[in-house]
């Protein structure tokens, strides 16, 4: 009995991400083309939505094992991020009332001090020549476009300040931001900060001390905080939060009297009612409490009260930004790993279909060889 050596075509291993450029074509076609038979089309299964894959059986088995291992990794990372994001979300929600109430109290005390002509260095409004921008990014990747969104926001704000003729210095927080700005020679970075995995008050105090010294020494005239605000598990927005000085929107101006506040400044989403500055709350925080009485009786010097509250204000606002950024990073990583797991399942299904088709084609070819050999012996 004679045997045939079936010709095979070997091609390079295609990329996993490019499904359109790979195709599977069996060179064994002993049967007539079913596409030319109109009556047979309605009985055929439709696989037009599946990507065609062309590889040998050994390569397909290797790719299937690789995709399965990748799926296990992405699913494990998704579960870890989901477990951590619950704690981070609770920290964000529990910390918001204190931080926002402290801002309201400081605004009221600051207004009262201005009426009594009390000068406080941290609330002094002077012509803006130099702005310090605190940029908070993540420490790890594999979280979708989380870090890119913050860095793009920072680049846009730097370009906006330069267009106004102002100098800008950065305080970079997070390994991803540090690695990015170290490669940017045209960006002036005052300090690189790398914190712990979970934000702590100690880490916030390090950043607050640096901001405190820059503003008091008049090296900068305004301090802005750029971070990712946690909205929900599927949404987070990069925002700009003004730390210093404490002022209403539009009062921080350059030497020409032009406002340098960001158009979407999160800190300055304020309204004025009856000549009094009020803070707008997020709808998730519930109803706003009644305003404090406009008239205060200070048992101590108002300047001493503000000097005692301002470090607490800086620490609380920076800690809140770190917590919101950390929760947003975990939520973004959980969503990214969920999408990666779903893609791995779909790719594994496509590879399995291609593997079964090719294996069946090989078995069919071997059967045809046996039948052809038996017919030849006759």
In the numeric block, which tokens belong to residue 139?
A: 């420490």
Which residues, in sequence order, are CB contacts of 328 under 8 Å at separation 6+? Answer: 146, 228, 229, 230, 236
Strands 130-136 and 222-232: parallel
Q: Backbone phi, then psi, for 188, in 5-degree steps?
A: -85, 115
245 cis-preceded (ω within 30 degrees of 0) = yes
- Rounded to whole angstroms, the Cα distance separating 260 from 251 reads 9
C-beta separation of 107 from 144 below 8 A: no
Q: For residue 167, give the DSSP letter.
A: E
User: Which one is catalytic: 113, 143, 168, 253?
Assistant: 143
In the numeric block, which tokens belong to residue 327?
A: 């929760």
Grouping H, G, I as helix, E, B as strand and the rest as coil, residue 221 is: coil
**Cα atoms in the 13 Å half-sphere on the side-chain side of 82:** 10
C-beta separation of 329 from 138 below 8 A: yes
Q: Is 253 part of the annotated catalytic residue set?
A: no
- Rounded to whole angstroms, the Cα distance separating 346 from 62 reads 16
Q: Which residues are catalytic?
A: 143
């Amino acid at each position: 009995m004679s045997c045939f050596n079936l010709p095979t075509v070997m091609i390079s291993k295609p990329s996993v991400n490019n499904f359109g450029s790979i195709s599977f074509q069996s060179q064994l076609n002993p049967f007539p083309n079913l596409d030319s038979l109109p009556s047979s089309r309605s009985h055929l299964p439709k696989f037009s939505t599946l990507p065609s894959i062309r590889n040998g059986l050994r390569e397909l088995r290797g790719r299937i094992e690789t995709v399965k291992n990748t799926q296990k990794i992405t699913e494990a990372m998704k579960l870890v991020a989901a477990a951590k994001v619950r704690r981070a979300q609770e920290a964000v929600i529990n910390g918001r009332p204190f931080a926002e109430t402290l801002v309201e109290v400081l605004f009221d005390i600051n207004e009262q001090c201005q009426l009594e002509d009390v000068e406080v260095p941290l609330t002094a409004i002077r012509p803006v020549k130099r702005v310090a921008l605190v940029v908070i990014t993540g420490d790890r990747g594999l979280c979708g476009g989380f870090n890119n969104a913050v860095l793009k926001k920072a680049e846009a704000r730097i370009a906006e300040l330069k267009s106004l003729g102002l100098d800008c210095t950065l305080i970079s927080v997070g390994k991803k931001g540090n690695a990015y700005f170290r490669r940017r020679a045209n960006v002036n970075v005052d300090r690189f900060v790398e914190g712990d995995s979970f934000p702590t008050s100690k880490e916030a105090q390090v950043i607050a001390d640096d901001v405190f010294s820059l503003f008091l020494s008049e090296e900068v005239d305004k301090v802005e905080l750029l971070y990712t605000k946690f909205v929900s598990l599927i949404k987070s927005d990069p925002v700009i939060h003004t730390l210093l000085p404490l002022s209403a929107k539009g009062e921080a101006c350059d030497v020409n009297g032009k406002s340098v506040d960001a158009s979407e400044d999160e800190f300055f989403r304020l309204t004025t009612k009856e000549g009094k500055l009020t803070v707008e709350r997020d709808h998730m925080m519930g109803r706003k409490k009644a305003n404090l009485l406009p008239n205060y009786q200070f048992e101590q010097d108002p300047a001493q009260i503000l000097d005692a509250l301002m470090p607490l204000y800086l620490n609380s606002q920076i800690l809140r930004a770190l917590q919101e950024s950390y929760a947003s990073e975990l939520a973004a990583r959980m969503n990214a790993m969920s999408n990666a797991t779903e893609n791995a399942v779909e790719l594994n299904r496509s590879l399995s279909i291609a593997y079964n088709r090719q294996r069946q084609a090989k078995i069919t070819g071997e059967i045809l060889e046996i039948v052809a050999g038996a017919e030849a012996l006759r």
